[in-house]
C-alpha cells in the first residue's frame, strides 16, 4: 500500500518537509500560526484545519518512510 513512499528519496522528502514547515517565510510560518491557534482554541474554520494538515503532510510521509525503513 505504501510502496510509493519507498520510491521517494530521503533528500527530496526532507527538503519538501522542511520547506512546507517553514512556508510562508514571512510574517510567520503557517504551521506555527496554526499550532498557536490550536493552543488558544481558535482553530475552528475548516480552511485552517486543512491548512495545518496540508503543511504537516510531508512530515507525516517522512515519518512513515523512516518507520518503514527501520522496521524491516
How much is the pLDDT for 4? 86
| Domain carrying residue 54 | 3-70
**Mean pLDDT of each 10-residue bin along the chain, 72 residues long:** 84 94 87 91 91 93 92 80
Q: What is the pTM of this model?
A: 0.82
**What's the domain count of the chain?**
1
CA distance 48 to 30: 9
Place of cell 510531508: 58
Q: How many Å apart are CA 43 and CA 33, to the nearest integer? A: 10
Amino acid at each position: 500500500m505504501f510502496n510509493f513512499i519507498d520510491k521517494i528519496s530521503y533528500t527530496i522528502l526532507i527538503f519538501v518537509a522542511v520547506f512546507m514547515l517553514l512556508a510562508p517565510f514571512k510574517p510567520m510560518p503557517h504551521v506555527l500560526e496554526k499550532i498557536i491557534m490550536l493552543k488558544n482554541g481558535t482553530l475552528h474554520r475548516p480552511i485552517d484545519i486543512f491548512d495545518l494538515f496540508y503543511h504537516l503532510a510531508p512530515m507525516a510521509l517522512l515519518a512513515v518512510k523512516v518507520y518503514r525503513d527501520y522496521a524491516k
